[in-house]
């Protein structure tokens, strides 16, 4: 099973690239498993940044989650083979 993860804005400063292709053995997996993979690869500080400052989309639909308890929502979101998870920077105006 392959999941495409895209990074935008400041997230690319940490990853040093715009995307990752995650291969997982089990099917289906929760968004929580994808987030855990990101934490393992780039560190929990980056994972915390995603939760507190970024928006997350799955196949162009924003994921609504409680920033205090993200894993509760992430466990409910199923990610399938070929899905795209997008990490979007905070939106600002000026």
Per-run averaged pLDDT (10 residues), the chain, 94 residues: 95 95 88 93 93 92 83 87 93 66
pLDDT on residue 27: 77
Distance CA 55, CA 75 (A): 17
Contacts of 35 (CB under 8 A, 6+ apart): 47, 50, 70, 71, 74
pLDDT on residue 58: 95
Give the pTM: 0.88
Listed by start position, the domains of the chain span: 10-88
* Sign of the CA dihedral running 17, 80, 31, 73: positive
Tell which residue, 89, 48, 94, 54, has the closest CA to residue 71: 48
Distance CA 59, CA 83 (A): 6
**10-88: what fold?**
Ubiquitin-like (UB roll) (3.10.20)
Determine the length of the chain.
Answer: 94
* Sign of the CA dihedral running 86, 38, 52, 28: positive
């Amino acid at each position: 099973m392959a999941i495409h993860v895209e990074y935008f804005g400041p997230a690319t400063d940490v990853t040093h690239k715009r995307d990752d292709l995650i291969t997982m053995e089990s099917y289906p997996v929760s968004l929580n498993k994808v987030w855990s993979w990101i934490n393992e690869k780039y560190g929990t500080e980056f994972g915390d940044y995603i939760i507190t400052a970024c928006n997350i989309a799955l196949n162009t639909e924003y994921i609504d989650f409680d920033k205090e308890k993200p894993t509760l929502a992430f466990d409910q979101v199923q990610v399938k083979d070929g899905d795209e998870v997008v990490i979007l920077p905070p939106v600002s105006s000026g």
